[in-house]
Amino acid sequence: MLRHTVATVAYRAAKAVRGAPAGFAEFQACESCRTPGKLLAHLGDLFDWGLSMASGKPKWEEAPALPWDESAKRFFEALHKFDDYLASDAPLECSAEGLFQGPVADALTHVGQIAYLRRLIGAPIRAENYFKAAIAAGTVGMEQRPPKMEFD
C-alpha cells in the first residue's frame, strides 16, 4: 500500500507540474505562502528525508528552489530513489506507518497546494476521477499513463 501511495503522489504531482505557465514557480498567493517553486523543492526534500529514514540514517536537508523543470526533475528522482528502496530487499529502518504519516502524507498535501495555486493563477489542471486512474506501484516518474476520466 505504501508503494501504491507513492505512485499516487507521482501521478498527481506529474499532473500538477506538467504544463505550468511561465512565472508560476514564483507566484506568491499571499505574503506568508510558499511559492510553487518552494513547494516543489520541499517535495524533493521530503523524499530525500523519507529515504534517509527508511535506510536508517535520518537526516533533513532543505534544498534551494531551482528553476521549475530542474526542481521537477530533482523531485521525481528523489521519489524514484525512495520507491526503489521500498521495492528492494533492504529492511525498513523505521516504520512504514511513520513514512506514510510523515513525508508521504505531507507530499500529498503539497501536491494539492500546487494544483490549487495553478487554479489561482488561471492555469488549472483538469479535474479527474482518480479512482479510475491507471496508477501502479513503481510508476513514479513524470511520465504517467493518460487520464481515463477527466472533466471540467
Q: pTM here?
A: 0.97
- Phi, psi (rounded to 5 degrees) for 150: -100, 160
Residues of the chain with pLDDT under 50: none
Q: Using one digit for the tens of pLDDT, what is the confidence trace for 58-91?
A: 999 999 999 999 999 999 999 999 999 999 999 9
Contacts of 61 (CB under 8 A, 6+ apart): 45, 48, 49
Question: How does DSSP assign 10-53, residue by residue?
Answer: HHHHHHHHTTPPTTGGG--SSTTSPPHHHHHHHHHHHHHHHHHH
At residue 152, the pLDDT reads 86
Assigned C-alpha cell, 131: 479512482
CB atoms under 10 Å from CB of 50, counted, come to 28
The gap from C-alpha 23 to its chain's centroid, in whole angstroms, comes to: 20
At residue 27, the pLDDT reads 98
Q: What structural domains and CATH numbers belong to the chain?
A: 2-141 (1.20.120)
Residues 130/145, Cβ–Cβ less than 8 Å:
no
Element (H, E) at 128: strand 127-128
